[in-house]
Structure 1
């Protein structure tokens, strides 16, 4: 059974492997021992905080584990509120109009303006499923369970949530958008800039990034063509989030120009359709694929299970209930897959 749970210090080696396998452009999983260890420690602190009335600097990190052998299949995270301790940068796509009535000339030009507009909102992040497990509904489960977690612990998160999508880069980690920025404003390649951001070294952004709006028509064609576009490996994740209600509102990553999508938490499909049910231990009969999670914070567990709902109750076999740390009569939250 594949069970999602809070990350533990013993998961470090698997988290490091995920960082290596995720490749260039996956900013939230840099190949850096110190940072990965701090992310695990920070997550443990977040899960240990019992009294949280509003979102702060908590970072919740989960792993998907195969309970039959202990192998870690993937990782997934939620940031409670971004930009509270480190500046959280984006480019916002806008327009300026150059108009001369006397000459009868009208030009509407696209611009990119550096901003911190998403400061304080929650973020779905660090979603990575390892290659052997990219089948069935595993990817959907590893992404969507986070919305059940947010529905269950509403006070810990903002009313709005975003997700940054990886932008276009090649196998060597070269980004057409960054290449233009590098030539004009920076003297470092994309992997180095991406890595520095991933480990929290963001001062170079404020020091070197152009402060005034960039006219898009001044970029070369290769850079213009990838604005708001996603990496091929990211298309399934974007499609899933769009089905949940996430929308692109013109904010892009400052390094690879990948789109950032946003949604109101209460309007997410999985949040609206999830509900609490009572658990019975027994022999289930048929049913549909659901994501089910317990209502514990520190001992949170979630998984994909075949369930049928009868008068606000679901039946779980003893093994599944044990893996999810659920007992007869407990409450659980479910949503259909």
Structure 2
């Protein structure tokens, strides 16, 4: 191996380690033995402490903001902490959370998926249409079509090397067009029998909690394990951090990229199917702007838009934070619903600024000779 290649591999390994710090399975900050020997008062110890604090702020910032918002809202509005209101927040958050879970994998890998809103709507319409043949057909139809859209996105991005923004934008338009074609330009709405088995997936309860909430929690546990505790998850982090370094370490960049887009399509289709079961119909106007909500929630949850670092738990906290803010604005009553978008946009700007600042500090520490 040439000296140039050796330097390339070393740099890539260093960047991959930095990108996974606090996020991946081996996400502990590397110990600075020289600083440890210098004692707690040494400059090295302060650098490690600052590194850990910045990592904690990035990973758990959304959760802290969520808890503070819930506390203030509970003290300000008598009806906010009621069981019915909290259940509405949880159920309405479940569908966006499932979409955001798939988006987390995509963004961590360094990509973006603008098609999830249209795929969500398409999945709901397909599931509602297929429910006349039973719940299995309804779910399989939505998952197979939406997963295929994700597969096409992944192949065009990974193999044809097209820009994710353009590919998924085209998929967004294509999925929306297919949905309108199925519903005759939106004039036909497929209804579900409210006492059907499939409708029970969206409207039923288990231990007093809506079934969609339980499904979401299970999916997030599995998604967290997949991203943090498996070789595939390590490859997702590595590809998002540096594709060349990921290739050198033996990761299949193409397979990883295709897989995350398939996963995003499947989860968006599943969320749409569950939403159709909850509403007992396949509503054609849903999903508009959902891709931006999902991206906002993921970024607010601590995932870097540039890829290489992200947290499944943070994405869930980001979704809940957005939904709680929307609920608080509704509780106020005197504010127009447009304020929801203003507040969400302000949150997103603040988070991106903080992420950029933390990322630059971390990069400066990693590349500093000392």
TM over 0.5: no
Give the number of the structure whose residues are more often strand, by fraction: 1
TM-score class, shorter-chain normalisation, is under 0.3
User: Quick one: higher RCO (CA 8 Å, sep 6+), 1 or 2?
Assistant: 2
Give the number of the structure whose residues are more often helix, by fraction: 2
Q: Give the TM-score normalised by structure 2.
A: 0.23
